[in-house]
């Protein structure tokens, strides 16, 4: 479950890294074609720059002009993702289904200090980060759908203010230039930021289990 994206995000984490390898089968061909005797996997790597190139082009195709400087934010408390900058630009990525982050399960470890003025959290989780957008010069969508195991680390620096990093590694699904199928290997992505802690200064895992799971 995710609430609608808003400009006033309580805990925006910034996408700081995203990379992997796309392994693509362009065309399988019909089962009754005796001339198909071999096939090759097309491999291409991606990184934060190439992912942003797809996202910003898709935003242009949807009628908005992204600024020269921007960052991709994800609020784990609302589930919203958006492109923004310090000048006030805002584009809802999750609402337009361009970029989505999902957490599937969490195994959590946490401890807190007296009066909830300090605390730490260290979790293991299942996480998905999916981007689907049309790159420049191509009418077909490129999809980076990375999912696998991940970690969450958080610390409460002062009352109601926390620092959090959520990262994921694994594999996933890939599509490019109308490919029939594709697999991501070696995926790695990370979100980090500082913001206002959740309801009642609960560890994120408790908030997630009770409100988002």
Q: Is 150 exposed, middle or buried (0-12, 13-18, 19+ CB in 10 A)?
A: buried
Distance, CA of 25 to CA of 180 (rounded, Å) = 6
Distance, CA of 162 to CA of 18 (rounded, Å) = 23
Under 8 Å CB-to-CB from 33, ≥6 apart: which residues? none
pLDDT of the residue at 8: 44
Distance, CA of 87 to CA of 176 (rounded, Å) = 33
C-alpha torsion angle, residues 76, 149, 91, 136 (rounded to 10): 180
* Alpha-carbon Rg for the chain in angstroms: 19
**DSSP for residue 208:** I
Q: Above 60 in pLDDT, residue 3?
A: no
The string of pLDDT tens digits covering residues 172-200 is 999 999 888 999 999 999 999 988 766 55
Closest CA relative to residue 73, chosen from 192, 203, 161: 192
Average pLDDT of the segment spanning 117-124: 87
How many of the other CB atoms lie within 10 Å of CB of 179? 19
The string of pLDDT tens digits covering residues 18-70 is 999 999 998 777 666 667 667 789 999 999 999 999 999 999 999 999 999 99
Q: Above 60 in pLDDT, residue 83?
A: yes
């Amino acid at each position: 479950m995710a609430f609608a994206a808003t400009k006033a995000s309580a805990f925006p984490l910034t996408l700081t890294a995203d990379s992997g390898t796309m392994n693509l089968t362009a065309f399988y061909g019909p089962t009754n074609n005796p001339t198909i005797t071999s096939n090759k996997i097309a491999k291409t790597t991606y990184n934060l720059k190439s992912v942003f190139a797809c996202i910003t082009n898709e935003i242009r195709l949807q009628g908005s002009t992204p600024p020269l400087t921007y960052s991709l934010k994800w609020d784990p408390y609302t589930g919203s993702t958006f492109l923004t900058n310090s000048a006030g630009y805002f584009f809802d990525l999750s609402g337009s289904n361009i970029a989505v982050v999902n957490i599937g399960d969490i195994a959590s470890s946490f401890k807190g200090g007296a009066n909830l003025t300090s605390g730490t959290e260290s979790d293991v989780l299942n996480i998905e980060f999916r981007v689907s957008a049309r790159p420049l010069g191509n009418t077909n969508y490129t999809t980076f759908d990375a999912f696998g195991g991940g970690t969450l680390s958080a610390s409460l620096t002062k009352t109601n203010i926390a620092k959090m990093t959520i990262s994921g590694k694994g594999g996933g699904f890939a599509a490019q230039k109308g490919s029939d199928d594709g697999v991501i290997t070696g995926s790695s992505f990370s979100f980090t930021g500082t913001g206002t802690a959740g309801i009642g200064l609960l560890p994120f895992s408790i908030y997630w289990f009770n409100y988002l799971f």
